Amino acid sequence: MFCQIKKHITTSFYRRGSSLKNIYALETSDGAINVEVDDDEEEEACELVNGTEVSVDGVEGYLLTAVKNNNGTGLLLLSDVFGFQDSATRDFAYRVACNGYNVLVPDLFRGDPWSKNRPKSEYEEWRRGHDPNRIRQDTTTFTKWMVEEFAAAGISKKLGVMGFCFGGGRVVDVLATDESGYFSTGVSFYGTRIDSAVAGDVKVPVLFIAGDRDPLCEVKGLYEIEEKIGEGSKVVVYEGRGHGFVHRPETPEDDRDAEEAFALMRNWLHHHLI
C-alpha cells in the first residue's frame, strides 16, 4: 500500500467556546447521565499536537497525534459533508488528539466536499456523485494503513471509528463490514441516512449522540438501530438540540451540551479502547 507523507505541521489551538475545565460524565445504574464540572481543577493544556497531511493510495487525509500523552490508540474520524479540511472537523479532531489519541481524518469526497455556497437544489445530485462503495473502499484503505502503521510501531491495540452527520451515518457501514475485527467501538454523532438493514452485522458497541430537534437524524430510528446491534450500544438524546450541535455549536446551550457530549464520548472511548 503506497503512502506519501506530504507535510508535517505542529498545531496548538482550541475550539470556539470550549472550556478547559475538567468535565466528568458518569452513567448511573438506571442509565441516567450525571455530569460533574470540577471548577478547581483545569485540564492540562494540550500544548503540542502534531498534524500531518498524508496521501494513501492517492487519497488525501489528515493525521493528528498527541505528543506528550499518546496512548497508542487510533481513531478514524469521518467528516460531515463539508469535508476533512473543514475547520470545525479539524478542531474537534484536535481536541480528541489532546486526549492521547491518533486521529486520522480521510478525504471522503476526494477534493469535492459540499459547500455552503452551492444551491441546495444541487445537493442530491452532488451526493449521488459520491459512490457509497467507493467511500467504503477508501475508509477500508485508510483503516488498513493505520493498522499497518501501528504494527510497524509494535502496537497491537484495536481502533475506534467516529463520525458526524454524513460521517456519523457511515460509522455503521464501516463497522458492519469490518470482517477483520479492526474496530473495538464506534461513536456516531447525529448520523444521517444510516442503513439500518446492516446494523445487525455490527459486532461492537456503538454510542449514538443526537438532539431531539434534529430533522436529519430521527431519534426513533436510532433506538431501532441500537436494538439491532444489541447489548452494549447506547443512544443519548439531548433535549432541545438540533443538527450539528456538538462540533458546530451556535448557542450557549449548544456549547453546554457539546461539552457534556464530548465528555461522554471521551469516557466511552477510554472504556472500550484503553
**Tens digit of pLDDT for each residue in 4-24?**
554 444 443 333 334 334 444
Residue type (1 letter), 129: G
Q: At what angle do helices 132-152 and 166-176 cross, to 10 degrees?
A: 70
**Tens digit of pLDDT for each residue in 80-96?**
999 999 999 999 999 99
User: Is the confidence at residue 61, as pLDDT, over 90?
Assistant: yes
User: Is the confidence at residue 32, as pLDDT, over 80?
Assistant: no
Residues 6 or more apart whose Cβ sits within 8 Å of residue 40:
none
Confidence at residue 158, expressed as pLDDT on a 0 to 100 scale: 80
Residue 75 CA to residue 159 CA, distance in Å, equals 6
Q: Under a CB-based contact definition with an 8 Å cutoff, are residues 70 and 273 in contact?
A: no
Domain boundaries, the chain: 48-273
Q: In terms of residues, how long is the chain? A: 274
Residue type (1 letter), 192: T
Residue 167 CA to residue 138 CA, distance in Å, equals 13
Confidence at residue 11, expressed as pLDDT on a 0 to 100 scale: 42
Q: State pTM to two decimals.
A: 0.85
Q: What is the CA radius of gyration of the chain?
A: 18
Cell reading at 206 = 456503538
CATH of region 48-273, choose from 3.40.50.1820, 3.55.10.10, 1.20.140.10, 3.30.365.10? 3.40.50.1820
Strand 102-106 with 74-78, pairing = parallel
Confidence at residue 217, expressed as pLDDT on a 0 to 100 scale: 96
**Tens digit of pLDDT for each residue in 126-168?**
999 999 999 999 999 999 999 998 888 777 678 999 999 999 9
